[in-house]
Amino acid sequence: MSVMRSPEVDLVYGVKRVCLAWDQPRSTYYARIAPAKTRPADFVAKKRGPKTAVSDDELLTSIKETIEASPFKGEGYRKVWVNLKFGPKRLRVGANRVLRIMRQEDLLSPYRHRKADPNLHDRTIITDVPNKMWGTDGTQVTTIDDGNIWIFSAIEHWNAECIGIYVCKAGTRFNAVQPVLEGVQSIFGSVNRGVAQGLRLRLDHGSANCSEHFQNEIRRLGIEPSFSFVQEPQTNGVVERFNRTLKEQAIYGKVFKNVDEVRQAVLEFRNNYNRFWRLGKLGFMTPLEARGRYQEQRPLSAAA
């Protein structure tokens, strides 16, 4: 093609123009037209350019070891890449490279998202400081002996930390408020009147949340209720996302006999989640790491 002449100007196209039109480097062109006699008989073409510190085979081994060592299941390539970078191995490799190798080896997460209409919710629910907004919600798990079991949780919107969780048989108004009380006791040191003044609680319009007992109890603590919008669960998205992660990691694929087995699995997950679950919005720190970093920097900010 490069030696052909243009019918318009009667000039050859040239290697440079042809490679530019085909979006190919000229080095590849010249490498392929080199005489075969200049190459050894056992010559095998390899990827051009600088060599990485870690080969693909070594990286694949590290990826498999990271997946096996993780206390969670179904993690995507970004979680694997983060654990390789910030975990014990401290491998500085590209996320796209990890994605390519995991795709080739069929190691990607099996979860797929259903296609839906674009999310029109444009409000911000993530806070820039802790104890500004929490979220609470309940979900159910079916057991053999005890039927449906309720799991109520309270999540800090700032770092997505599970600050309270309660597993029970009945989803009453008394049980629904328990994770909020646990979180207040843990964060503020007591459940005295007005101890959580200035805190807002994001919740839906469920009967337990709207009950007089629930509302009176959170107001006694100084908490202001912040109801999510009707038919817009994304406005309570922090705790909704936690519930999904909880079910994917600790509930789905298992058969529970009674409420005690559910409670044991949920509490174990909560401990692992707060200590080991890395989040992109936190700079790939875990919830507890983010809280510790904030507490370390807070005295410096106050002094300034």
Q: Is residue 177 part of a domain?
A: yes
Residue 125 maps to a domain:
no
| Whole-number Å distance between alpha carbons of 299 and 78 | 33
Chosen domain end from 104, 123, 141: 104
Q: Are 234 and 184 in the same domain?
A: yes
Note whether 183 and 80 are same-domain residues. Answer: no
Number of domains observed in the structure of the chain: 3
Strand partners, 151: 139, 167
Residues 156 and 249 in one domain: yes
Looking at 89, 104, 119, the residue that finishes a domain is: 104
Q: What's the CA gap between 304 and 301, in Å, rounded?
A: 5
150, 293: one domain: yes
Q: Are residues 45 and 71 in the same domain?
A: no
Tell me if 81 is assigned to some domain: yes
> Same domain, yes or no, for 187 and 98?
no
SS (H, E, C) 114-180: CCCCCCCCCCCCCCCCCCCEEEEEEEEEEECCCCEEEEEEEEECCCCCEEEEEEECCCCHHHHCHHH
Find the length of the chain. Answer: 304
In a domain, 195, yes or no: yes
Residue 128 lies in a domain: no
Q: Which residues does 293 contact at the CB level (< 8 Å), separation at least 6?
A: 285
Task: Give yes or no: residues 32 and 138 share one domain.
Answer: no
Q: Any idea what the CATH number is for the domain that residue 155 is in? A: 3.30.420.10
Same domain, 140 and 270: yes
Q: With the C-alpha atoms ordered 6, 9, 12, 14, is the resulting torsion angle positive or negative?
A: negative
CA 81 to chain centre: 12
Note whether 159 and 266 are same-domain residues: yes
Q: Kindly give the confidence (pLDDT) of every residue in the chain, 304 residues in length, as a single tens digit, with 9 standing for 90 and above.
A: 555 666 666 677 688 888 888 788 888 777 777 665 566 666 676 666 778 889 999 999 999 999 999 999 888 999 999 999 999 989 999 999 999 999 999 999 876 555 555 555 556 788 999 999 999 999 999 999 999 999 999 999 999 999 999 999 999 999 999 999 999 999 999 999 999 999 999 999 999 999 999 999 999 999 999 998 877 767 888 999 999 999 999 999 999 999 999 999 999 999 999 999 999 999 999 999 999 999 998 764 444 4
Q: Does residue 116 lie within any of the structural domains? A: no
Residue 154 in domain: yes
User: What number of helices (H) and strands (E) belong to the chain?
Assistant: 12, 5
pTM, rounded to two decimals: 0.71
Domain with 32 in it: 1-49
Same domain, 66 and 164: no
- Given a contact cutoff of 8 angstroms between Cβ atoms, the answer to whether 180 and 156 are in contact is no
- Structural domain contains residue 265: yes
**179 and 278, same domain (yes or no):** yes
Is residue 290 located within the same domain as residue 163?
A: yes
